[in-house]
Chain A
């Protein structure tokens, strides 16, 4: 149990376009999901916390208008990178909280902006 999927696994887009990444908890309900970003050979940095039915909470320095988060159901959260630029190229990973202390991570999405 506790499987989290992400789609797509890889995406290449042109500068100025928008990209949507989906995060799903497959076998449990997650009232809270998290979005992280990982640069090459770096650690994961928390971008935002997504709560079902309410607005996301963004970490300091993360532009909420650029990284739109929607948590439409207890099993789905989406991250939309709007007007993507090459500096947005990164590995985006979501996690879903199954309990107060367990977070399970998706396999990640590699975004390349050309």
Chain B
């Protein structure tokens, strides 16, 4: 199976919370990331979490990590139309010398 898995689409209503889920297979992952990609653009680093943490909050974003189940989630509170994008979960196993392993990305669709 894939190293990092995400569902491909998530549809939410504007103003609701969005929860994007990700599972990974490698227990040696040291850092896990969420990136945002808008159409035709590069990747914007949203947030990251170290593997010994359970939760990280940054304004509207909350990251939850369940290391036992190898499950990572990103919650976006009060979802806005500007949040419409593809969200990639990624992991790194070592330090700065390693590239990232990405999931296929979750396309977040905002309904008015």
CB atoms of B45 and A43 under 8 A apart:
no
A101 with B97, Cβ < 8 A, contacts A43-B102, A93-B42, A108-B41 known:
no
A34 interface residue (CB < 8 Å to B): yes
B19 interface residue (CB < 8 Å to A): no
A32 interface residue (CB < 8 Å to B): yes
Q: Which residues of B contact A45 (CB under 8 A)?
A: 102
C-alpha gap A60/B33 in the complex (Å): 23
In the assembled complex, the CB of A43 is this many whole angstroms from the nearest CB of chain B, namely: 4
Which residue of chain A has the shortest Cβ distance to B30 in the bound complex? A101
CB atoms of B99 and A108 under 8 A apart:
no
C-alpha gap A36/B88 in the complex (Å): 14
C-alpha gap A42/B98 in the complex (Å): 21
CB atoms of A100 and B95 under 8 A apart:
yes
B85-100 contacts to A (CB < 8 Å): 88, 92, 95-100
A44 with B92, Cβ < 8 A, contacts A104-B45, A105-B35 known:
no
A97 with B43, Cβ < 8 A, contacts A43-B104, A105-B35 known:
no
What 0/1 pattern do residues 39 to 68 of A give for CB contact below 8 A with B?
A: 000111110010100000001000000000
A66-114 contacts to B (CB < 8 Å): 93, 95, 97, 99-108, 110
Which residue of chain A has the shortest Cβ distance to B33 in the bound complex? A103
C-alpha gap A32/B41 in the complex (Å): 22
Known A-B contacts: A95-B99, A103-B33, A105-B44. Give 10 more (CB < 8 A): A34-B100, A43-B102, A43-B104, A44-B88, A95-B43, A97-B97, A99-B96, A101-B48, A103-B96, A105-B35
Q: List 20 A-B contacts (CB under 8 A).
A: A6-B42, A34-B100, A43-B104, A44-B43, A44-B88, A44-B100, A44-B102, A46-B100, A49-B98, A49-B99, A59-B99, A93-B42, A95-B43, A95-B99, A101-B31, A102-B96, A103-B96, A104-B45, A105-B42, A105-B44
